[in-house]
Chains A and B, each alone.
Chain A
Amino acid sequence: MHLSPDQIIFWQYGFLKLNATIVFTWLLMLVLVVGSRLVTRHLSTDLQRSRWQNCLEIVVLAILKQIEEVGLSNARQFVGFLGTLFLFIALANFCTIFPGYEPPTGSLSTTAALALCVFVAAPLAGIEYQGLRGYLKSYLEPTFIMLPFNIISEISRTLALAVRLFGNIMSGSMIVAILLTITPFLFPIVMSLLGLLTGMVQAYIFSILAAVYLAAAMQSNPHEPPKKMAS
């Protein structure tokens, strides 16, 4: 039994290792990129449109609506980032229905990379909307004593984002592996169905939390008047 798909190594040359995480991430990226490229090749605006375009429009609009409901002011700017996060994690967790597939989200390196993207994106959005000064000032809220705690919260929530996704997916595949040795007939199927459900919920939660963090970074200081009036 292995803890993460990092330990399955397909190909090795010196210190270059091609483990299951990388291979399946590449496969998922290929599916997503080629799929969306195929669908968006012949886009039409009239009533005659392909089924795939309809399907993709439903997905994109649903993501857009969810982002808007979180309170992100201009959702269209972030639908690329947050939608990609959601679609990648959802597909990665959904593909566990295929035998022989190891979800790359069950490896801490993948989830840490995804969380790092959020960790970088939140300050960038904050700086873009409040200016560098305004964003740095938000670390001094409510008083300057809170500065270290604000920094700690920034780091710890990134860690939480990574470990939550990793733990959920890893526990799902591990429980199935343990159950296969104990009751190999029916029970693993039920647990893998439950794993599919938690996978979808975790994809939703990851992107919603990323949206919440972005919204929190963009939000200007509630105790002060807006930037234009202050300066």
Chain B
Amino acid sequence: MDSTTIIAMVSIITAGITTCLGVLGPALGEGRAVAAALTSLAQQPDASATITRTLFVGLAMIESTAIYSFVVSMILIFANPFWNHFIDLAAGK
């Protein structure tokens, strides 16, 4: 295997692992957060506005880790610097 193939393979596999693990954690975290918010909504329906707003902000915070993994895997697949370097070398630029 030449280096281009190895880089492509490693990039794709790493992108898959990144998305896999990066989705797993935030999903569990968001599940816990929503469950806790629902419990407190059931206990205190009067505070629904505050709870919902805090829930949204918290969900955005948790979700941003998933977004990081997404961005990283997108970079690995579509804008990989090492890959681009070797493609340029192969093209003889």
Q: Which of A126-174 contact B (CB under 8 A)?
A: 160, 163-164, 166-168, 170-171, 174
The proximity string for B residues 67-85 relative to A, scoring 1 for CB distances below 8 Å and 0 otherwise, is 1101100100011000000
Please determine whether A212 and B57 come into contact, CB atoms closer than 8 angstroms.
yes
The answer to whether A167 touches B70 (Cβ under 8 A) is: yes
Stretch from B3-11, B26-34, B37-45, B48-56 at the A interface? B48-56
Q: B residues within 8 A CB of A205?
A: 56-57, 60
Q: Report the tally of A-B residue pairs with Cβ distances under 8 A.
A: 44
CB-defined contacts of B70 to chain A, threshold 8 Å:
167, 171
Please name all residues of chain A whose beta carbon is closer than 8 Å to the beta carbon of B56 when the two chains form the complex: 201, 204-205, 208
| Closest B residue, CB atoms, query A165 | B67
For B57, list chain A residues within 8 Å (CB).
Answer: 205, 208-209, 212
Q: Which of B53, B61, B64, B79 contacts A69 (CB 8 A)?
A: B53
Q: Is A3 in contact with chain B by the CB < 8 A criterion?
A: yes
Q: Distance (Å) between the CB of A148 and the closest chain B CB? A: 22
Q: How large is the interface on A (under 10, 10 to 19, 20 to 34, 35 or more residues)?
A: 20 to 34
Q: Is the CB of A170 within 8 A of B63?
A: no
> How many Å from the CB of A1 to the closest CB on chain B?
8
Contacts A171-B67, A208-B53; A164 near B60 (Cβ below 8 A):
yes
Residues of B near A209 (CB, < 8 A) are 57, 60
- Chain A residue nearest in CB terms to B69: A167
Closest to B78 in A: A3
List which A160-210 residues lie within 8 A (CB) of chain B.
160, 163-164, 166-168, 170-171, 174, 201-202, 204-205, 208-209
Q: In this complex, what residue of B is CB-closest to A66?
A: B53
| Residue of A1, A163, A208 touching B67 (CB-CB under 8 A) | A163
CB-based contact B74/A163 at 8 Å: no
Contact residues in A for B49 (Cβ distance below 8 Å): 69
The reply to whether A170 and B60 form a contact with Cβ atoms under 8 Å apart is no
The interface residues of chain B lying within 8 Å CB-to-CB of A208 are 53, 56-57
Cβ contacts A to B, 6 pairs, < 8 Å: A69-B53, A160-B61, A167-B71, A170-B71, A174-B74, A209-B60
Interface residues of B (CB under 8 A from A): 49-50, 53, 56-57, 60-61, 63-64, 67-68, 70-71, 74, 78-79
What 13 additional pairs, Cβ within 8 angstroms, besides A167-B70, A202-B60, A208-B57?
A: A3-B74, A3-B79, A69-B53, A70-B53, A160-B61, A164-B64, A164-B67, A167-B64, A167-B67, A167-B71, A171-B67, A208-B56, A209-B57
